[in-house]
Amino acid sequence: MKIITYNVNGIRAAIKKDFIGFLERENPDVVCLQEIKAEESQIPVLDFETLGYHCYWYSAQKKGYSGVAILTKTKPMHVDFGCDHELFDFEGRVITASFKDYTVVCAYFPSGTTGEIRQEVKYAFLDHFYSWTQKLKENNPNLIVCGDYNICHKPIDIHNPVSNKNSSGFLPEERAWMDKWFKSGFIDSFRALNPEPHQYTWWSYRAGARKNNKGWRIDYISTAENLEIKDSGTYHNDIHSDHCGSWVAI
DNA sequence: ATGGCATTGCAACAATGA
């Protein structure tokens, strides 16, 4: 089973850059999308259904902002919208699809780069999401948590760890949360099979960051440690967003 | 320390992002 996670930074903009063709070519079984920035009525749903996907959209209540989705070739047993939190559900950050053998969570963690208030929101999300997923894992041991975590775990995950030591996304508290997260029973499916440096999933649009590979690795597919990871990688050459997609085969 | 770029809403430029 192949799963892709992708922060598309606006699904309508991504579609203009042939995102549909990309999906057709890669043919994943499950697709987790973040920052769709659209409501279902604004999305050409049929384009995805034609490829064979059951589509589940979870938009923010705020137009043009955030929003996540799961596309899947197999119809899930059930889909859960949200994470039992008023603000994070208002912002459309978490959607979960349960299958016979796996449960897939798609999450868009808040950014803390726009100031102290949003950094506090991010910390609140980290706390809440940790407890929420731990509880979920009790009844869904084969849990896979895909998404834009907005955190670089280790120095190898960011092009300049020294100059970014005070940057939101690479703060000690955030990195400690990632330690705790993986220790709780998840594997970083990309890093487990790709130990080389200079592999990122996000680049600033500014100052030629992508061309010069000055990026951050902030998108992850965390797989429950009892699951076998057959292969994993990123789509750093396919450009539909300021992020690239990541994939895992299990 | 700052600016840089792109998407979206809404019809101006403001909000947001990492």
CA of A207 to C1' of B3 (A): 10
Question: What is the Cα–Cα distance from A144 to A221, expressed in whole angstroms?
Answer: 7
- Tell me which protein residue sits closest to nucleotide B9, measuring alpha carbon to C1': A64
What does the pLDDT read at residue A198?
97
What does the pLDDT read at residue A134?
97
What does the pLDDT read at residue A204?
96
Give the neighbor-by-neighbor strand order of the sheet with A30-34: A54-58, A68-72, A30-34, A2-7, A246-249, A231-234
CA of A96 to C1' of B12 (A): 39
What does the pLDDT read at residue A36?
98
What does the pLDDT read at residue A73?
98
What does the pLDDT read at residue A244?
98
What does the pLDDT read at residue A135?
98
Active site annotation includes A148? yes
Rg (CA), chain A: 17
Which letter does DSSP use for residue A62 in this model? S
Q: Helices A116-139 & A172-183, crossing angle to 10 degrees?
A: 0
What does the pLDDT read at residue A116?
94
For A114-147, what is each residue's pLDDT tens digit?
999 999 999 999 999 999 999 999 999 999 999 9
Q: Which of A148, A157, A188, A242 is catalytic?
A: A148
CA of A61 to C1' of B7 (A): 17
Check whether residue A168 has its CB closer than 7 Å to nucleic acid strand B.
Answer: yes
Question: What is the Cα–Cα distance from A144 to A98, expressed in whole angstroms?
Answer: 10
Residues of chain A where predicted confidence (pLDDT) is lower than 70: none
Other Cβ atoms less than 10 A from the Cβ of A84: the count is: 12
Check whether residue A218 has its CB closer than 7 Å to nucleic acid strand B.
Answer: yes
Say which amino acid occupies A89: D
Give CATH superfamily name and number for A2-249.
Endonuclease/exonuclease/phosphatase (3.60.10.10)
What does the pLDDT read at residue A124?
98
What does the pLDDT read at residue A21?
98
Instruction: Identify whether the C-beta of residue A91 lies closer than 8 Å to the C-beta of residue A128.
Output: no
For A53-90, what is each residue's pLDDT tens digit?
999 999 999 999 999 999 999 999 999 999 999 999 99
Q: What are the beta bridge partners of residue A32?
A: A5, A70
